Amino acid sequence: MLFASYGFIAFISILFIVYYLIPKKHQWKLLLFASYVFYLFAGPKYILYIVFTTVSTYIISLRIDKLNQTQAQYLAKHKKDLSRADKREYRDMMKYRMRRWLVACLLLNFGILAVVKYSNFAIANLNAISRAFGGQGQLSFLNIALPMGISFYTFQTMGYIIDVFRGKYSPEKNIFKLALFVSFFPQLVQGPISRFDDLSKTLFKEHSFEHRSFSFGIQRIMWGYFKKLVIADRILVAVNTIIRDPEMYQGAFALVGMLFYAFQLYADFTGGIDITIGIAQVLGIEVQENFNRPYFSKSIAEYWRRWHITLGTWFKDYLFYPISVSKPMMRVFKFTRERFGGAIGRRIPVYISTITVWFVTGIWHGSSWNFIAWGLANCVVIIISQELEPFYAWFHSKFNVRNAFGFRLFQVVRTVLLMSSIRMFDCYRDVPTTFRMFGSMFTVFNYRELFGGVLLDLGLNMADYCILLIGLILLLGVSLAQRKGSVRSRLAQEPEPLRYAVYSFMFIMILIFGAYGVGYDSSQFIYNQF
């Protein structure tokens, strides 16, 4: 069931009504039921995957908790009998046993993700290697479809088990509540990747109908649909025209495609997250924000702190830090410090962790070399900008432009262009084509053609461009307004006639100018595919 479908709108409308009609103590049960119904629409067989992840995580989290309790009881009981060394030895032993359960859970669940998502990528690479060495035999591809949202719910659930292992919180004792945390339908397909201690605060609570959160939620849903249907799905036509024919659309067109894709992805992904957070808000549930106006970032590092925030923090907490402080990495640090001195020695372990994280981030987004190249390109830019820090410091000491509007604008534009060009890896069919198209922007000088009406040959007419422009101006305006706080809160203080006029206007805009229905290929949200 796509978010941008009549079925989904009917589904959430019924849910909203029933949710506030039934006794409050059953609300979370209804959400679990609705989430599984939603999941069933993707195909009944896929439900086994999410059930397996839930059950395995539930059993293992309880097992880890039991070991934790045993440890606590044992240490309390033998507080006076045991020496400090004995206690440490006991703790290490218990930690080892808990870690074994944790590793088993991670291997099982990431193993499933790896098999369903990366098997065919691995087979394709093995076949290519075999061909390169003159091998005759070719492995057959597996016929496995990717279960909906598996990357998101696997990461969310594994984050949970790691937190339980770390003793951040106790595991959920009710398997059905855990099942709801894993499968909560609005965030199932494209995130955000929630933390249990955050989401559970409101997910299992009893909620009374509150006009403000209901109204804010509906507004957020509408804004999401506006971004998705009016902007993203409209511009999609031009993007597809350009990227599907790289021989024809080079130079200036590659640049246009690159910029259009940047707008499309932003409107698509943030639109989807707006719908997710809006639905949750209507239900009285708080879901973590996933974006903080990323296109206003002044550096790539800042951009990644503001784009897909929950994925970034997941990698930071569960991959980057554990790798950075792991024993092997400590040994690397010791070795490089002794070999190359403090300055370089400190950097190498950090860079190894950074490269690992970006490699995984890349492959998480998709099982292709394009995404690996995309991840590593981000990594390279971040490392280069870190290495250039002394230069930046020198520059700012010489030129007092740090707070100048022009310089800040330059930084923002530079970041957007850098990110957009790296994202070209998402668009084109393979890495060499991406490099070729990127290069063509500097070698094929057909920029004049852009002013000769050829933009109208990309599948959009003048009216579409006008709507697109209005949509983008509105998007920019709202983003700018958000810097001063919640737009919805400020709107709520305006006179009612004005508010209702704004709501009606938005609704009609979506209804009339949305790219949906017969004749439009209203696409899935891009992040559904991850």
Partner 1 sequence: MNKKRIGLKIATICFLFITLWFLQKLMVPKYVTAIVEGSLIEEYYHEETDHDVVFIGDCEVYENISPITLWEKYGITSFIRGGAQQLIWQSYYLLEETLKYEKPKVVVFNVLAMKYDEPQKEAYNRLNLDGMKLSMEKIKAIKASMMDDENLIEYIFPLLRYHSRWSELTSEDFKYLFKKDKISHNGYYMRVDVEPVKSIPKGRKLSSYQFGERSYYYLDRMVELCKDNDIDLVLMKAPSIYPYWYDEWDEQMREYANKHDLMYINFLDLIDEVGIDFNVDTYDAGLHLNLSGAEKLAVYFGDILRKTYGLEDRRGDEELKKVWDEKVEFYYSMKEQQLRELEEYGYLKSLGVEKRE
Residues that bind partner 1 (CB under 8 A): 6, 461, 463-464, 496-497, 500, 503-504, 507-508, 511-520
Which is nearer to partner 1, 57 or 522 (by Cβ)? 522
Q: Which of 192, 272, 163 is nearest to 225 (CA)?
A: 272
By the 8 A CB rule, do 105 and 60 touch?
yes
What residues contact residue 117 under an 8 Å CB cut-off, 6+ apart?
Answer: 146, 150, 151, 367
133 backbone dihedrals φ, ψ, rounded to 5°: -100, 15
Which is nearer to partner 1, 6 or 394 (by Cβ)? 6
CB of 195 to partner 1, least distance (A): 38
CB of 11 to partner 1, least distance (A): 13
Nearest-angstrom CA–CA distance, 61 and 160: 9
Which is nearer to partner 1, 346 or 499 (by Cβ)? 499
Tokens of 396: 């700012």
CB of 143 to partner 1, least distance (A): 23
Nearest-angstrom CA–CA distance, 288 and 117: 26
Tokens of 190: 């494209």
3-state secondary structure of 117: helix
CB of 301 to partner 1, least distance (A): 42
Which is nearer to partner 1, 469 or 508 (by Cβ)? 508
| DSSP string across 438-464 | HHHHHH---GGGGGGTGGGGSS--HHH
What residues contact residue 181 under an 8 Å CB cut-off, 6+ apart?
Answer: 156, 157, 160, 172, 194, 196, 199, 200, 203
Which is nearer to partner 1, 486 or 504 (by Cβ)? 504
Which is nearer to partner 1, 413 or 498 (by Cβ)? 498
Which is nearer to partner 1, 160 or 516 (by Cβ)? 516
Nearest-angstrom CA–CA distance, 314 and 159: 7
Tokens of 114: 């790896």
Specify whether the backbone of 453 is left (phi greater than 0), alpha (psi in -120 to 50) or beta: left
Which is nearer to partner 1, 453 or 519 (by Cβ)? 519
CB of 47 to partner 1, least distance (A): 25
Which is nearer to partner 1, 240 or 290 (by Cβ)? 240
CB of 455 to partner 1, least distance (A): 16
Burial label, 20 (beta-carbon count in 10 A; 0-12, 13-18, 19+): middle
CB of 13 to partner 1, least distance (A): 12
What residues contact residue 480 under an 8 Å CB cut-off, 6+ apart?
Answer: none
CB of 446 to partner 1, least distance (A): 28
Specify whether the backbone of 223 is left (phi greater than 0), alpha (psi in -120 to 50) or beta: alpha
Which is nearer to partner 1, 343 or 463 (by Cβ)? 463
CB of 18 to partner 1, least distance (A): 20
CB of 518 to partner 1, least distance (A): 6
Nearest-angstrom CA–CA distance, 358 and 471: 33
Tokens of 512: 């009339």
